[in-house]
Amino acid sequence: MKDALPLHPRIAELIGAGEANGTAQSVFRLSTVNNLVTLINLFTEIRPKRTLEVGLGDGGSAIIFTASHRQAGSPPMAQHTAVDPFETTGWNDSALVALDNAGLRGYLVFRPGFSSIVLPSLMREGARFELIFIDGSHLFDDVFVDFYFSSRLLTDDGVVAFDDSTNAHVRKVLRFIRTNCGCLLPVDLSPYRADKGTGLRYRTAKALGRTQLTAFRKIGPWVREWNVGLKKF
């Protein structure tokens, strides 16, 4: 794995505080430190030209992606796309406020709609992404739709990561991927974490198949015969 890019000051600040401010004086908790560091290190290895996330929320991951694009020396050209129908109504624009405060808004394309509508639109536009982070609705059908379209928007050798993998709905989709999708291979995220995967709690969760973040690398085009048998998952 390549050495990680140095942390943008705003990233370090957010990781240290563990929270982000929205409009109307709202405060939201960010993702875990290990999740954020894992995304930074994945970005460092992949060096993606374009990134995508489903579920903008508090903006922690969006700041990771946009700041990483800047740290890689790229000018702000809307390299990161974020999809969320509730950013204004549910999150009080906390991510957009955080990105503005960090001077990173120019790296973002915000799509304020449901992923079931936005992701097919991105396909029609011919968009492709090297790194995708899925952390939107946690209902099985929604997660499956996010996976379905993301796997087609993902470039060969690109990585798609799922947050909250212990959730029963998300776990069901992950089991489908492992058993029925030969073009996606699991990625061992241990080396990408802040603790390098050495923590007892993480090692236990990994042994039980209950880690919070799960990722797959696309090794080739999505090809499935129309009548292929469905393996139980």
CATH number at residue 207: 3.40.50.150
Q: If we measure between CA atoms, which residue out of 47, 76, 229 comes closest to residue 155?
A: 47
Q: If we measure between CA atoms, which residue out of 42, 53, 35 comes closest to residue 153?
A: 53
Determine the pLDDT at residue 34: 80
228 lies in some domain: no
192 lies in some domain: yes
Give the integer Cα–Cα distance in Å for 9 and 14. Answer: 9
- Summarised one tens digit per residue, pLDDT across range 49-71 is 999 999 998 888 898 899 999 98
Total domains, the chain = 1
Host domain of residue 103: 9-218
68 lies in some domain: yes
What pTM was estimated for this model as a whole?
A: 0.89
4 lies in some domain: no
- Summarised one tens digit per residue, pLDDT across range 1-26 is 555 545 555 566 655 555 555 554 44
Burial of 93 (0-12, 13-18, 19+ CB in 10 A): buried
Determine the pLDDT at residue 28: 44
